[in-house]
Structure 1
Amino acid sequence: MLRKVTQILAITAVSSMLAIGTAVAAPITIKFAHVVAENTPKGQAANKFRDLVAERMGDKVVVEVFPNSQLFGDDTVLEAMALGDVQLAAPSLSKFDRYTKSLQVFDLPFLFSDMAAAERFQQSDIGNELLMSMESKGLIGLGYIHNGLKQISAHKPLRVPEDARGLKFRIQASNVLAAQFEALGAMPLKKPFSEVFTLLQTKAIDGQENTWSNIYSQKFFEVQPYITESNHGLIDYLVVTSAEFWNGLPDDIRAEVKKALDEGIAFGNEVAAQKALDDKQKIIDSGRSEIIYLTPEERALWVEAMKPVWQKFEEEIGKELIDAAYASNE
C-alpha cells in the first residue's frame, strides 16, 4: 500500500514538473494589428519583424500580424491594447492627439520639405523623447515607420487653394488636419480608413489626402480622376505598445524583440522610399488618374493658405518643438 502511495506521489510530482516545464516553454505571443495592406511599407515592416522574431526566437516569442483592420481598426486598437487584446499596433501619428498634443507636430502642413528632413527630426534627441511622451498614459512608442508625403486627390482638378473650396475631404481624426482643410474653405470629414474607397466611389466625399503607396494599394486612383502632387504633409506611423506589457517582458526578451523591430522598421522605411516612386508610376501607367504638378507659384499659394495652422496649434504643440522640426529641413 505504502509503495502504491509512493508511486502515485511520484507520478503526480513528475506530472507537475512537466506542466511547469510546459508553462515555462510556452512562447510569448505578440499580436501586431494594423489597418493597411501587406504590400505597403507598414505591412512589409510588420511582416519582416514577424519573420525575424520567428528566425531568432521561435521557441520563445511568436508574432502574429493582422493587416487590413482584420483585428482592430486604428480607432479601437489602443483601447484593445489597454485590455491586453493586442500587444503592438502602428496607428498613424495623427491618432494620438488624445494622449499627447506633442505628436500633432507631424500633422502640420508643409512642415517637412522631404522625407529626409522628417527622418532627421525623428532620429534626433527630441524625436526620441516623443516616443516616451505617452508613458504616463500607459503607451510606449517603439519607432517610426515611414509611409511618405501626402498628395490630394479629388473629383475635380486642384491647382490652387480656391479649387478646394466647398469640397468634402476625408481626413484622419486629427484637429490639425481638420483646421488644414478649413483653412482652404473645404469641409473635413473624419472617417475610418477602411471606408475611404466606398466613400469616394459613391461620391459621398469629393476627395482625400494620402501617400502614393496608400492611394495605389487601396485603389483610390481608380475612383479619383485627379491627384495633385502637393507633398503637403506627412503620413508616418508610430509603433506603439502598452507600458504594462513592454515593461513586463524579461530584459533579454525585450532587447531581442526591440532589435528585431528596429530592423523591421528600417526595412519598411527602405520599402517606403522605393514604393513612393514605383506606386506613383503605376498610377500614371494605369491612365485612371491625371497627376497635376504644381508650379512653384501655385505651391506657394497652398503654403500661404495652410501656414496659419501652425500658429493656431503653436500653444498646444509647443513653439520649440515646431521650430526643432522645421530646423530639420536645413
Structure 2
Amino acid sequence: MSDMKKHVNFAVSALVIILLVFACIPAFAASEKPLTLRIAHVVTEKGGEHLGSLKLKEILEKKSGGKIIVEIYPNGSMGQNREMIESMQAGALDMGLPALPALGGFTDATKVFDLLYLFNDRKEAEKVLDGEVGKSVAKSVEKSGVKIISWWSQGFRESTSNRKFVKPEDLKGLKIRVMDNPLHIEAWNTLGASAIPMAFSEVLTSLQQGVLDAQENPYQNIVQSGFDKVQKFIIETGHLYGPLPLVFSKKVWDKLTPEQQKMIQEAADETKIYEREAQEKINKDLRDGIVKSKTCTIVTLTPEQKNAFRAKLLPLYKKHAPSTNGLLEKIYHQLGRKIDFK
C-alpha cells in the first residue's frame, strides 16, 4: 500500500471517529429526560392548594430550565389524606398537600397546632411556622418517611350557627360538628358546647335536619358545601389557623441531586408567599360574596371577645402543654405572651 493510500485511509478513519463522537453527543443529550414530579391534593381547582400547586409548577419549571416538570393531581385523584401520605412513604407519589392532622399519627409535635385560639392572626401564625417551632415540627415527621419542605396555609376556621354567640356562655348546649380530633372535641366541650364529631359528608344534611346547630370550617368549605345557605349566622371566631404542609416523599427526596433539592426548596419557599396571599384572597372574596348575597348574617368577634374564649381554654393549655415537648412554651415566648404552664 502506497504512503498516499495509507494517509487517505487514516484520514478517513479519523473523520469517521470524529463524526461518530459528535453524533453521539446530541443523542445522549436527547436521552436525558426531565425529572417529573407529581403533586396531589384533595380540593377543587378553585382552592388555595391548587393555586399554590400551579405556582410551584410555574416557578420550578422555569427555575430548572425545563429539567423538572410538575404534574398536578387535584380532587383527591391520588387518594385522600391518609392514602397520599402512604403513597409518599412508598415513593409512589412525590409531593402532597395533606391536612396537618393526618400527620398526627406519626408525631405528637403537630398536636400543638390543634389548640384553639393559639394564634390571633395570620402574622402570628406565619412567624411561628417560619421559625424554630415550624422547623422542629417539620423535622419530627421525617422518621415516618416523609419530609415537610414548606408551610402553606388553609386560613382560619370560622363557625356557622343557627344561634348567635359572642361569648363562652352563649355556647351552652350548642350542638356543633367538629373534626374527629380529641383536642378539638375537648376544647369545644370546655367552652360549653356539645361537640359532635362527624364525617364531613354528613354535615349539610345534619344541619338541615336539626341534628346539628352549628359547625366550623374555613370559608372555602363553608361556601362550597352550602353551609351559609342553611345557617342563620357565620360567627367569625377565627379559632383555629390551618397550617398546610407541603410534604415530600423522603424516598424520592434522598435520590435527588443537591442541585435538584436546592431548586425544589427555593421554589417551595417562593410559592409559600404566593399561596398564603392567594388563600387569604379566596376567603375574602367568598366572604364578600356572602355579604352581597345576604345568605346569612356575619358576626365578627372583637379581640376582647376572642380573648374571653382563650381564657376559658387556659386550663386545657396547661393540661396538654407537657405533651407538646416544650413547643407551646416556645410559641408563647416567641409571641411575647406570658403564662405559667406548670
Partner of 1:131: 138
- Aligned residue among 105, 109, 123 for 1:102: 109
- Aligned residue among 186, 192, 196 for 2:194: 186
SS of equivalent to 1:224: coil
Q: Deviations over 1:168-215 (max 9, x none)?
A: 4333343221222222341231535x6655554565544322223443
Q: Higher mean Cα deviation, 239-248 or 62-71?
A: 62-71
Give the distance between the partners of 1:80 and 1:168, measured in 2 at CA. 36
Give the distance between the partners of 1:202 and 1:81, measured in 2 at CA. 40
Task: Give the unaligned 5+ runs of structure 1.
Answer: 1-16
Q: Deviations over 1:80-109 (max 9, x none)?
A: 222333221112222222111111111111
Contact 1:149 1:235 in 2 (8 A): yes
Letter of the 1:147 partner, please give it. Answer: Q
Distance change >3 Å, CA 258–CA 89, structure 1 → 2: same
Give the distance between the partners of 2:242 and 2:55, measured in 1 at CA. 20
Distance change >3 Å, CA 325–CA 55, structure 1 → 2: same
Instruction: Normalising by structure 2, report the TM-score.
Output: 0.80
Q: Deviations over 1:250-282 (max 9, x none)?
A: 221221122222222211012123333332222
Give the distance between the partners of 2:171 and 2:30, measured in 1 at CA. 59
Letter of the 2:296 partner, please give it. Answer: S
Is residue 2:48 matched to residue 1:54?
A: no
Q: Which of the two has higher C-alpha Rg?
A: 2
Matched-pair identity in %: 26
RMSD value over aligned CA atoms? 2.9
Is residue 2:61 matched to residue 1:43?
A: no
Q: Deviations over 1:2-58 (max 9, x none)?
A: xxxxxxxxxxxxxxx99x959952333322111223333222111111222333446
Q: Higher mean Cα deviation, 194-203 or 98-107?
A: 194-203
Letter of the 2:49 partner, please give it. Answer: K
Give the distance between the partners of 1:63 and 1:198, measured in 2 at CA. 38
Partner of 1:159: 166
Partner of 2:339: none
Partner of 1:259: 266
Is residue 2:331 matched to residue 1:325?
A: yes
| More contact order relative to length (CA 8 Å, sep ≥ 6) | 1
Is residue 2:158 matched to residue 1:145?
A: no
- Aligned residue among 29, 33, 39 for 2:40: 33
SS of equivalent to 2:262: helix
Partner of 1:285: 292
Partner of 1:77: 84
Distance change >3 Å, CA 244–CA 52, structure 1 → 2: same
Give the distance between the partners of 1:55 and 1:204, measured in 2 at CA. 51
Instruction: Normalising by structure 1, report the TM-score.
Output: 0.83
SS of equivalent to 2:159: strand
- Aligned residue among 312, 317, 322 for 1:305: 312
Letter of the 1:260 partner, please give it. Answer: A
- Aligned residue among 232, 235, 252 for 2:239: 232
Partner of 1:5: none
Distance change >3 Å, CA 105–CA 65, structure 1 → 2: same
| Number of equivalenced pairs | 313
Contact 1:141 1:239 in 2 (8 A): yes
Partner of 1:10: none
Deviation at 1:126, TM superposition (A): 2.9
Letter of the 1:187 partner, please give it. Answer: A
- Aligned residue among 246, 251, 254 for 1:247: 254
Deviation at 1:78, TM superposition (A): 0.9
Give the distance between the partners of 2:202 and 2:76, measured in 1 at CA. 11
Q: Higher mean Cα deviation, 157-166 or 104-113?
A: 157-166
